[in-house]
Amino acid sequence: MKNKTFFKINIIYFVAMILIAIVFILGYLGLLQNEYISSFLIQIMVMFAIPLLMYTIFVSKNFKQTFKDTGFKKISARMIGIAFILGIVLYFINNFVAQFFSSIISLLGYENISQTTTVTFSYELLFREFLLSCILPGFCEEFLHRGIILNAGKKCGNTRYVLIISSILFGLMHLNINQFFYATILGFLMGYVSIVSNSIFPSMIIHFMNNFLNTYIYYGYYLNWPFATFINDLQALIMSNIIIFIVVNTILFCLLVMLYIYLTRVLAKERVRYDVKKIISCLQINNLSIEEAQSKINQANEILQKSASLKFKNTISGGTKFSFLSQVFLISSIILGSLITISTFIWGII
């Protein structure tokens, strides 16, 4: 049963990857030049609506179960706050990783030959950028990768495997060599957050924050917005000296990674506390005897004590191997994404 479910999940993703590739090729050939229409097709239709319908029809049988399977589980206000902080932390980690890999592929001969156009700034443009670059990707891309592939996939028995696969597919989904490396690492880090929080909402918040800060700082530099000019001036100062650049970036990167690990542990403990609070609230409804209620509370306290000793490496568990047919469609998605990604390296297309 689990192999059949994962087989269907891989078919769903393979269909999505084909449709993404079609939209990408149509845009490259000039047959679909409106970036807003293409973004709408990819985000709303390909990454959300079609996978949602396919999973509901072939796996869950109803929409409520689909959202439950894909990790749409309530989180506490504290978890929301932690997720926003993680979003800021991962934005800077992502920037370090992006600069590192961009430097490497530049040395290997990558050159962006895509044409750029000068656009007159307007608040309407800014709204569209926030919608298409921050809100929709934060929801739709997370639904497909951290929702269907990771959260629904981990129910099939191998959390570690689907975490890695969902991260690679997330990187390949961007269909360009410049984004593949850092998107894969970012996908892994967001996937781990989704696992420890047992919900897709923290990864959605992190994804939104990463894209939001990127857009805000890009436009804010030209519009003299607070924080944006400071970040750009700080980057310019750090890059002014190679020794300062290496030392400062190394220290900052290490501190950010440690902060990420610490926050994920706090998030995992908060998930347990939130679940225990729900258990305690149920005790008041069930009209249990004092002895029975005390027993349940003791069990809840034991869960809290165990949560205090959560280890980063123990959160991801292994599991069963998947069938050959599941692997066929999974590998096909990887090959398709890889071919287009490699082509962007050869021709410098983004």
Give the per-residue pLDDT at 307. 54
Task: Using alpha carbons, list the distances in angstroms from residue 113 to 77, 116, 133, 181.
Answer: 45, 9, 22, 20
Collect all residues with Cβ–Cβ distance below 8 Å to 111 and sequence separation of at least 6: 348
Give the per-residue pLDDT at 312. 42
Do residues 210 and 91 touch, judged by C-beta distance below 8 A?
Answer: yes
The pTM is what?
Answer: 0.88
H/E stretch holding 173 reads: helix 159-173
Q: Is the pLDDT of residue 56 over 80?
A: yes
The SS3 call for residue 315 is: coil
Task: Using alpha carbons, list the distances in angstroms from residue 154 to 151, 193, 234, 312, 333.
Answer: 5, 14, 41, 18, 19
What totals of helices (H) and strands (E) does the chain contain, helices first?
A: 16, 0
Q: In the predicted model, what is the mean pLDDT of residues 182-191?
A: 96
Give the per-residue pLDDT at 233. 75
In DSSP terms, which residues pair with 158 in a beta bridge? 319
Q: What is the pLDDT of residues 67-124, one digit of tens each?
A: 999 999 999 999 999 999 999 999 999 998 988 888 888 777 766 655 444 556 667 7
Number of C-alpha atoms within 13 angstroms, CB side, residue 64? Answer: 0
Distance CA 144, CA 153 (A): 11
Number of C-alpha atoms within 13 angstroms, CB side, residue 118? Answer: 0
